[in-house]
Homo-oligomer: A and B are copies of this chain.
Amino acid sequence: MDIPSGVTARKRISESTIHRLSRYFRTLSLLERENFETVSSKELAKREKLTPSQVRKDLSFFGSFGTRGLGYPVAELKAKVSKILGIDRVWRVALVGIGNIGSALVSYKEFIKQGFHIVKLFDNDQRKIGSNHKGIIVSDIKNLRTELQDDHIEMVIVAVPATVAQYIVDDVVKAEVKAILNFAPVNLKVPSGVHVRNENMEMELEYLSFAMVNNHSPKGVGKD
């Protein structure tokens, strides 16, 4: 769906591969805490309900990280995956809309663990502007554009009502922010070069509904 950048000679990596890398990252963190020194593609696959080939192929797009006969060094692989995903650094994130879902996100500690630091909050409700959420003072939405730029925000989470999401996003784009995580159930329009991901919970419930009605099972897990 994303247009490949045309310039780099790099092969296009599929969305599924990236999502699986996220999952590997989480599992590697777990394995590290369980004091595993190395892990095989077989073990990783078992934990993720994938085939070992899938795991090896995914990793092979980015290099050779394993040792034949042994597997992958957990800590090292985790570092590599985190580098590939670009989470070996801090991302400065702003959150717009401190309502039900917005408030939940501000207090979510996993984001910080993965380098996503919510450092600014915006709302248009006078009762919320100026109030303190987890140490951050809520800014007036009027200043969205200037404050995003002045504070070097790189990602914005949109948690406002669907009716206003596009207006907010237009401003976000003007502030030259290139990554948006959107919770509003609308198809946002952004110029090319701006990345948008939608978080859509209805979609997952609907998938469950479909699966139940159709007795639809996920793809079978094979062996290698």
- B7, A207: Cβ atoms under 8 Å? no
CB-contact partner of A211 in B2, B103, B206, B221, under 8 A: B2
Among A108-116, A124-132, A167-175, the stretch in contact with B? A108-116
Q: Which residues of chain B are within 8 angstroms of A215 by Cβ–Cβ distance?
A: 5, 193, 195
Flag whether A150 is at the interface (Cβ < 8 A). Answer: no
Minimum C-beta distance from A125 to chain B (A): 16
Q: Give the chain B neighbours of A221 by CB distance below 8 A.
A: 7
How many angstroms from the CA of A207 to the CA of B31 in the assembled complex? Answer: 22
Contact B193 A114 (CB under 8 A): no
Q: A200's closest neighbor in chain B, by CB?
A: B22
Distance (whole angstroms) from the CB of A97 to the closest CB of chain B: 12
What 0/1 readout, one digit per residue, does chain A (1-33) give for beta carbons within 8 Å of chain B?
A: 111011110101101001101110111000000
**Interchain CB contact (< 8 A) of A8 among B7, B115, B217:** B217
Please measure, in the bound complex, the distance between the C-alpha atom of A185 and the C-alpha atom of B23, giving whole angstroms.
9
Residues of chain B within 8 A (CB-CB) of A93 are: 205
Chain A residues engaging chain B, CB cutoff 8 angstroms: 1-3, 5-8, 10, 12-13, 15, 18-19, 21-23, 25-27, 47-49, 84-87, 91, 93, 100-101, 103-105, 107-108, 110-111, 114-116, 154-155, 178-181, 185, 187, 192-193, 195, 197-218, 220-224
Give Cα A181–Cα B205 distance, bound, in whole angstroms: 7
Known pairs A104-B103, A187-B48; A199 contacts B201 (CB<8 A): yes
User: Do B6 and A224 touch (CB < 8 A)?
Assistant: yes
| Complex interface: chain B residues within 8 A of A101 (CB) | 101, 104, 108
Establish whether residues A224 and B193, one from each chain, have CB atoms under 8 Å apart when the complex forms.
Answer: yes
**Contact A3:B86 (CB < 8 A) given known A178-B212, A201-B199:** no
Q: Which residues of B contact A7 (CB under 8 A)?
A: 217, 221-224
Q: Could you tell me the distance between the alpha carbons of A21 and B47 in the complex, rounded to whole angstroms?
A: 30
B197-A207 in contact (CB<8A):
yes
Report the minimal beta-carbon distance from A217 to chain B, rounded to whole angstroms: 6
